[in-house]
Amino acid sequence: MNKKKLATIAVIAVFVVVIVICFVSVVKAPIEESIADNELSKLKEKVTVSTSKTEPTAEKQSDVIIPNESSNTTEPSQQPTHSVDELLGMNKECYAWISIKDTRISYPVMHTPSEPDKYLNKNFYGQTSSSGVPYMDARCNDDSDNKIIFGHHMNYGSMFSDLCNYTRRMYRDSHQDIVLETHKEREVYKVFAALRVKADDYWYNFITAETEKKYDKKISYAIDHSLYKTRIVPKFGQKLLTLSTCMGSNRDDRLIVIAVKQ
- Digit-coded pLDDT (tens) for 6-20: 555 555 655 544 454
Query: pTM of the entire structure?
Result: 0.81
Is 193:235 a contact under the CB 8 Å cutoff? no
CATH architecture of residue range(s) 40-261 = Beta Barrel (2.40)
pLDDT over 50 (residue 59): no
The predicted pLDDT at position 137 comes to: 98
Mean pLDDT within 152-165: 93
Q: Confidence band (pLDDT; 50, 70, 90) for 4?
A: low
pLDDT over 90 (residue 36): no
Distance CA(29)–CA(110), nearest Å, equals 23
pLDDT over 50 (residue 56): no
The predicted pLDDT at position 70 comes to: 45
Within 10 A of 218 (CB to CB), how many other CB atoms are there?
19
Percent of the chain with pLDDT over 90: 70
pLDDT over 60 (residue 139): yes
DSSP assignment of 28-87, as one string? HHHHHHHHHHHHHHHHHHHHEEEE------HHHHHHHBPTT-------GGGSEEE-HHHH
Return the sign of the alpha-carbon dihedral for residues 106, 206, 164, 136.
Answer: negative
Distance CA(259)–CA(176), nearest Å, equals 8
The predicted pLDDT at position 50 comes to: 74
